[in-house]
Amino acid sequence: DIQMTQSPSSLSASVGDRVTITCQASQDISYYLNWYQQKPGKAPKLLIYDVSNLATGVPSRFSGSGSGTDFTFTISSLQPEDIATYYCQQYDNLPLTFGQGTRLEIK
Amino acid sequence: QVQLQESGPGLVKPSQTLSLTCTVSGDSISSGAYYWSWIRQHPGKGLEWIGYIYYSGSFYYNPSLKSRVTISVDTSKNQFSLKLSSVTAADTAVYYCARDGKRYRDLDYWGQGTLVTVSS
């Protein structure tokens, strides 16, 4: 299985801050990466697919980049409603695998 | 509006079989445009993909669960189902069903999730 490692595991930031989460794959996954947001008690929500494409209705403050083994997820200006746990997911090889999650809190 | 809804017992005894059904509305499984996946999340933990099924009945199971998992589809009811046999406390989790894009494997619609507790 391809292992996905996110960093940091948790993050505290202020409203308006630029927030960056990284995701590293255990092998080259080309551009085959998605990002999800999960709020407490809710199902995950697709934010970004294929590294950098915003899902329908997702605000433009969210963005993604990267290729190969190293990927980045960015919130350009943190909003209170962005408090959640974020997961990356690779689809280069089955089984689909997720990062362990990054918990984002408001400072 | 695509909606998925999981249903099934919230409590299963050890060694028994966990059975869940996902009912899809707003989309047709038999269109063949998507895969249909099951994912679980242990309490306070990350996401584990269990496997998927296609309208034709083709499937893939995560090797970590392969020996105990069966995913099936009923296109007449627009449902797909999960069976996990010989459960233990380690199978206690929230189980989600989701629509799975064929090209980008993006899980774009999810059920709300159902907590299944394995306990005697």
Which tens digits make up the pLDDT trace of A68-106?
999 999 999 999 999 999 999 999 999 999 999 999 999
Q: Report the distance separating Cα A64 and Cα A22, nearest Å.
A: 10
Q: Return phi, psi of residue A84, to 5°.
A: -175, 180
Averaged pLDDT for residues A1-5: 98
Nearest to A57 by CA among A46, A67, A65: A46
A85 contact partners, CB below 8 Å, separation of at least 6: A37, A38, A39, A101, A102, A103, A104
Averaged pLDDT for residues A5-16: 97
DSSP A96: P
What's residue A89's pLDDT?
98
What's residue A106's pLDDT?
92
What's residue B4's pLDDT?
98
What's residue A37's pLDDT?
98
What's residue B17's pLDDT?
98
Check B60 against A87: CB less than 8 A apart.
no
Residues of chain B contacting A42 with CB distance shorter than 8 Å:
112
Question: For chain B, what is the total number of helices (H) and then of strands (E)?
Answer: 0, 11
The token pair that represents B55 in the structure block: 């309208």
For chain A, strand residue ranges (E) read 4-7, 10-13, 19-25, 33-38, 45-49, 53-54, 62-67, 70-75, 84-90, 97-98, 102-106
Averaged pLDDT for residues A8-15: 97
Averaged pLDDT for residues A14-30: 98
**Which one of B22, B36, B47 makes the best mutation probe of the A interface by having the most chain A beta carbons within 10 Å?**
B47
Q: Which residues face B12 on adjacent strands?
A: B118
Pick from B51, B104, B113: which is nearest to A50 by CB?
B104
What's residue B68's pLDDT?
98
Residues A41-65 have pLDDT tens digits of 999 999 999 999 999 999 999 999 9
What's residue B22's pLDDT?
98
What's residue A46's pLDDT?
98
The token pair that represents A94 in the structure block: 């089955």
Which of the residues in chain B have pLDDT under 70? none
Residues of chain B contacting A95 with CB distance shorter than 8 Å:
49, 51, 60, 62-64
As a residue count, chain B comes to: 120
The alpha carbon of A71 is separated from its chain's Cα centroid by a whole number of angstroms, namely 9
